[in-house]
Structure 1
Amino acid sequence: MADYWSSIVLPMLDGAKMTVLLFIIAIIASIPLGFLLTLAVKSSFKPIAWFAQTYIYVMRGTPLLLQLLLICFGLPMIPGIGEYLVLDRFVAACLGFILNYAAYFAEIFRGGLLAIDKGQYEAAQVLGLSKWQTTTRIVLPQMFRVALPAVSNESVTLIKDTALLYAVAVPELLHFAQTAVNRDLTIMPYFVAGAIYLLMTLVLTVFFKWLERRFKFE
């Protein structure tokens, strides 16, 4: 029995490493990109603002799975340049997750900026702070505090969405669970996979709750 459970759990734990790696890469890259998109939306240069708004609308308005399939399988089919756009499946998946989640984080940060009272800007002017000082010392700290709960929620969604790697043939947690199900004709691997996902989301939830307490949300 112990050997059987090892044959199920150990491969899924190896798959979970891929899941965690994708999550780390996506979260590290998409949050700064999302913030840059937020700044672009607020840009006084209309073409940049229009491009950022259109990008956010398209990425949030189409399924992440569709975007992954397009990057993995669609780009190489473009006539003339497709052969130069063939990416490693994991790299392509990382790119898709980063581009998609950056749009969601951009909206979260935009909401954080809108939540800041205009009086904060007026007070900064009275104190003689420059625009840069106002942004870095007053606006950004408050924006991140307001946005943190939503960032936490989106991060939990991201760790679950990594299961979409299965659709583009990247061997992650769900891939090994399905392999075990097909091999042993039992649904137990699904429950094991679910337990591993729950554990990962629990760790994330505890971490963000700690951050919220640190920033005095509670």
Structure 2
Amino acid sequence: MFDLSFLLEDGYLKLFRDGVLTTLKLFVVSGMLAIVVGIVLTTLRALPVKLFKGFVIVVVEYHRNVPVLVQILVWYFGVPQLLPEGLRDWINAGNTEFFFATVALALNAGAFISEDLRSGLRAIPHTQQEAAWSIGLTYLQSFRYVILPQGIRVALPALLNQSLLLFKNSSLAMAIGVHELLYRTRQIDNLTFRTFDVFLVATILYLIGTLALMALSEHFAKRRTAPSGV
């Protein structure tokens, strides 16, 4: 029999709550940054400039082929050594672990989002671009106001799937000491030695989060495919 009454002892429930809140904060902040990164990379790749396209390809291939955990460790242990001393001290004065985990997760998710957006843009007829030019819009204006919004709508299911992956990848931030859900779970396990019970609670909490995101994804998918009312 499972006995979860230990959660009411010694503040263990509060530790779980703090872990969930940190996970959600990490997910939301890195997710918002990832959207910005994805749109910027997509825009640069759409421009008729080979240098920009080459840069985006390198960024995307790096994040697609290097494990997310390695990317987090590179940012946490490697990147600070390349920064000027003043900037490094300023970063270290704050929550360094959370900052670098957010940056690493955002860049990783942003690279994948840019690929999803690029696939969405391919589904847009070239006549849309020509129509935008015909009314006097520049290349960037037509991309921003006409092409990109349609591409986002087409890519929405894939983008929501990326949010699910980002939520699960947030657990990797434990490796550099971010006090998210998995970190708190291991902390409680070390204090109680009730490994199965503790990780059962963590599993349930992660399932609640992922199922909520899946429900949201299905909701938007239905709205996207629903016929317009007369």
TM-score, normalised to structure 2, is: 0.83
Query: Contact (CA 8 Å) 2:161, 2:217: kept in 1 or not?
Result: no
Unpaired segments of 5 or more residues in structure 1?
A: none
Equivalences for residues 107-118 of structure 1 within 5 A = 107-118=115-126
Deviations 1:99-141 (A, max 9, x none): 1111111111111111112343345556x36346643454223
Q: Following the alignment from structure 1 to structure 2, what is the Cα–Cα distance between the partners of residues 91 and 201?
A: 23
Query: What is the CA–CA distance in structure 2 between the aligned matches of 1:120 and 1:81, rounded to whole Å?
Result: 47
2:39–2:114 Cα contact (<8 Å) kept? yes
Partner of 1:29 in structure 2?
Answer: 33
Corresponding position of 1:68: 72
1:149-189 CA distance string (max 9 Å, x none): 00111101111111101111111111111122222222111
Aligned residues: percent identity?
Answer: 29
Contact 2:42 2:115 (8 Å CA) reproduced: yes
CA distance 1:76–1:124, shift in 2 (3 Å): closer
Instruction: Assess, with a 3 A threshold, how the Cα gap between structure 1 residues 216 and 175 changes in structure 2: closer, same or farther.
Output: same
Provide the residue aligned with 1:215 in structure 2.
224
Tell me which residue corresponds to 1:4.
Answer: 6
Whole-angstrom distance in 2 between the partners of 1:185 and 1:6: 16
Counterpart amino acid of residue 36 in structure 2: P
TM-score computed with the length of structure 1 as normaliser = 0.87
User: Matches of 1:213 and 1:192 in 2, distance apart?
Assistant: 32
- Say if 2:172 is the partner of 1:164: yes
* Aligned partner (choices 113, 116, 121) of residue 105 of structure 1: 113
Structure-1 separation of matches of 2:187 and 2:141: 55
Partner of 1:145: 153
CA RMSD of aligned residues (A): 2.4
In the alignment, is residue 20 of structure 1 matched against residue 24 of structure 2? yes
Secondary structure in structure 1 of the residue aligned to 2:225: coil
Give the one of 131, 137, 140 matched to 1:130: 137
Q: Which moved more, 1:133-142 or 1:9-18?
A: 133-142
**Does the C-alpha gap of structure 1 residues 20 and 108 become closer, same or farther in structure 2, counting only changes over 3 Å?**
same
Give SS of 1:13's match: helix
Q: Deviations over 1:63-117 (max 9, x none)?
A: 1111111111123445x84674364111111111111111111111111111112
Q: Distance in 1 between matches of 2:77 and 2:169?
A: 19
| Greater mean alpha carbon deviation, residues 176-185 or residues 158-167 | 176-185
AA aligned opposite 2:198: P
Any unmatched runs of 5+ in structure 2?
Answer: none
Q: Is the 8 A contact 1:12 1:174 kept in 2?
A: no
Residue of structure 2 equivalent to 1:59: 63
Alignment CA distance shift 1:76-1:125 (3 Å)? closer
Give 1:216 deviation, angstroms: 3.1
